[in-house]
Amino acid sequence: MQILNGREASQAIKDQLKLSVAQMAAQGKKVPHLAAILVGNNGASETYVNAKVKACEEIGFKSTLIRAEDTISSLRLLDTIAQLNADYDVDGILVQLPLPQHISDTEVINAVHPDKDVDGFHPINVGKMVLGQPTYVPATPYGIMLLIEHYKIETKGKHAVVVGRSNIVGRPMSILLSGAGAYGNCTVTLCHSHTTNLKELCLEADIIVAALGKPGFIKEDMVKEGAVIIDVGITRVPDSSKKSGFRLSGDVDFEKVAPKCSYITPVPGGVGPMTIAALMKNTFRACAAKHHDR
């Protein structure tokens, strides 16, 4: 069994980006600039956005963090996005999800200009991804593809079972793994809350991507010997022995499942850091596209 070390793989990608940005700057070109909008005080969202801003600093990107109260009106939020769309210096815009109830995710996602949509959530970019056209691929599934590539895991002809059909992870993951690109060409089964024979399907999987947000859900009796396990879950579980009052738990019962696997991602330190590296790659591309357009 080999651990898929997301911290290491992510660092390798960030180091490469850092070199490329230094080259850009040395040529007198503008460096990538990511603008992140954080609405409210959700603890997990704060952690994620801070990690994104920190990665920008580490690589040499510019970043702007815009914080808004959770009472912000939809109109004001859309106006903020419009201003960022119009700002030439800003290459990538991300609005951290989830948003407060009174704001429509769809309206916000549709408001970000597709050329600056480094989250890859805009319908135009989702459409391009489905068609296999070059675009911004959502950070979590893109990061997982980069991790698979980093470890050169053979995917061609394999049966991949994706558990969870969210727009952010499960659904795009199923598209990428079934696509004709490098590290695609899987036969994919996309499972969700109405799947009746989940255990049987998982037992047939060469690759399982668990993205349902239920701690420890994937047990050892659901996993075939030698399977590749990608755990996207990162739930905060109350734990009084921790200073923070919680620990992070994946969707896979790691201790029991790991001995059966060929490869497995830990939580934390697996998929999480890869999503950051993927976002940075998207932001770099958004900026590089501007340089080419000039």
User: Residues in the site for ligand GUN, rule: CB under 6 A?
Assistant: 94-97, 119, 139-140, 168
Nearest residue to ligand GUN by CB is: 97
Q: Tokens at residue 155, please? A: 């995917």
The CB-of-139 to ligand GUN minimum distance in angstroms stands at: 5
Query: Which C-beta is closer to ligand GUN: that of 191 or that of 274?
Result: 274
Query: Which C-beta is closer to ligand GUN: that of 9 or that of 94?
Result: 94
CA angle 173, 177, 182 (to 5 degrees): 125
Query: Which C-beta is closer to ligand GUN: that of 144 or that of 229?
Result: 144
The active-site residue, picked from 14, 91, 96, 116, is 96
The CB-of-44 to ligand GUN minimum distance in angstroms stands at: 8
CA dist 178 and 200 (Å) reads 20
CA dist 95 and 106 (Å) reads 12
CA dist 64 and 89 (Å) reads 11
Identify whether 52 is a catalytic site residue: yes
The CB-of-244 to ligand GUN minimum distance in angstroms stands at: 19
230 CB-near residues (< 8 Å, 6+ apart): 4, 144, 147, 207, 208, 209, 210, 265, 270, 271
Identify whether 214 is a catalytic site residue: no
Helix axis angle for 170-178 and 123-131, nearest 10°, is 30
β-strand partners of 191: 163
The active-site residue, picked from 119, 206, 231, 251, is 119
Query: Which C-beta is closer to ligand GUN: that of 198 or that of 232?
Result: 232
The active-site residue, picked from 14, 52, 116, 281, is 52
Identify whether 96 is a catalytic site residue: yes
CA dist 256 and 259 (Å) reads 7
The CB-of-260 to ligand GUN minimum distance in angstroms stands at: 29
Known catalytic residues are: 52, 96, 119
